[in-house]
Amino acid sequence: MARLLDANEWRLVLTRLSETLPTTTQRRVTVIGGVAMALGYGSRRTTSDADVILRPEEASEILAAAARIADEFQLPATWMNQNAVQAE
């Protein structure tokens, strides 16, 4: 079973992700779904993945960085994904 994170843990994960990416370029990650609800509204529901919207030119770099830090938080390599967007 996948590990479920709360809002505080997701903040740590996303902060670590930002630390992993080179600081020479600004990137945009739009978080949607369960993580957005937890972060924005204090939802007590937890989730094991983060649904995001990424710019096509940034997606591969960001998703690769997310996969590299997954083990630090006991998450699957695909914890950050664009599955919700691709389902449209």
The per-residue pLDDT for range 31-41, each reduced to its tens digit, is 999 999 999 98
* DSSP reduced 3-state for 26: coil
Rounded to the nearest angstrom, the gap between the alpha carbon of residue 60 and the centroid of all alpha carbons in its chain is: 13
Check residue 18 and give its pLDDT.
96
Residue 70 CA to residue 17 CA, distance in Å, equals 10
Rounded to the nearest angstrom, the gap between the alpha carbon of residue 24 and the centroid of all alpha carbons in its chain is: 20
Q: Which residue has the higher pLDDT, 87 or 5?
A: 5
Q: What's the mean pLDDT in 22-47?
A: 89
Helix then strand count (H, E) for the chain reads 4, 3
Closest of 54, 63, 67, 60 to residue 27, by C-alpha:
54
pLDDT at 46 over 90: no
Overall size of the chain counted in residues: 88
Q: Which residue has the higher pLDDT, 26 or 3?
A: 26
Give the residues across from 47 on adjacent strands: 5
Domain boundaries, the chain: 7-86
Share of the chain above pLDDT 70, in %: 94
Residues 60-82: tens digit of each pLDDT: 999 999 999 999 999 999 999 99
* DSSP reduced 3-state for 74: coil
